[in-house]
Homo-oligomer: A and B are copies of this chain.
Amino acid sequence: MDVQPYDGPLVRRASPPSPLERTRLWNCPLLPHDERDMLADAVMPARAIAPNTELVRENACPDSVFLLVDGWAYRYATTREGGRQISALLVPGDICNLGSLMMERVDYAVRSATQATIAKLPRIQAQKLAAEYCGIANAFAWLTMYENVMLHQHMLSIGRRSAKARLAHILCELRVRLGADGEGACSYSFPLTQELLGDAMGLTSVHVNRMMQQLRAAGLIATADRIMTILDLPGLQRLAGFDCRYLHPEDAIAR
Cβ of A161: which chain B residues have Cβ within 8 Å of it? Answer: 79, 83
- Copies of the chain in the assembly: 2
The 8 A CB mask of A130-151 against B (1 = contact, 0 = none) is 1111100110111011011101
Verify B99–A148 contact, CB threshold 8 A.
yes
Interface residues of A in 88-109 (CB under 8 A from B): 98-108
Cβ of A61: which chain B residues have Cβ within 8 Å of it? Answer: 254
A149 to chain B, nearest CB (A): 6
Binds B, one of A188-196, A218-226, A227-235, A241-249: A241-249
Interface residues of A in 72-93 (CB under 8 A from B): 77-81, 83-85, 87
Cβ of A87: which chain B residues have Cβ within 8 Å of it? Answer: 151-152, 155-156
Cβ of A107: which chain B residues have Cβ within 8 Å of it? Answer: 149, 152-153, 245-246
Least CB separation from A143: chain B residue: B141
Decide yes or no whether A179 CB sits under 8 A from chain B.
Answer: no
A interface SS class? helix
Q: How large is the interface on A (under 10, 10 to 19, 20 to 34, 35 or more residues)?
A: 35 or more
Verify A102–B141 contact, CB threshold 8 A.
yes
Q: List 19 A-B contacts (CB under 8 A).
A: A77-B156, A79-B161, A81-B241, A83-B161, A101-B145, A102-B253, A103-B149, A103-B252, A103-B253, A104-B253, A123-B254, A130-B141, A131-B138, A132-B134, A137-B138, A138-B140, A151-B152, A154-B155, A159-B201
A220 to chain B, nearest CB (A): 17
Least CB separation from A108: chain B residue: B152
Verify A99–B155 contact, CB threshold 8 A.
no
Cα separation A165 to B80 with both chains bound (whole Å): 11
A146 to chain B, nearest CB (A): 8
Verify B103–A254 contact, CB threshold 8 A.
yes
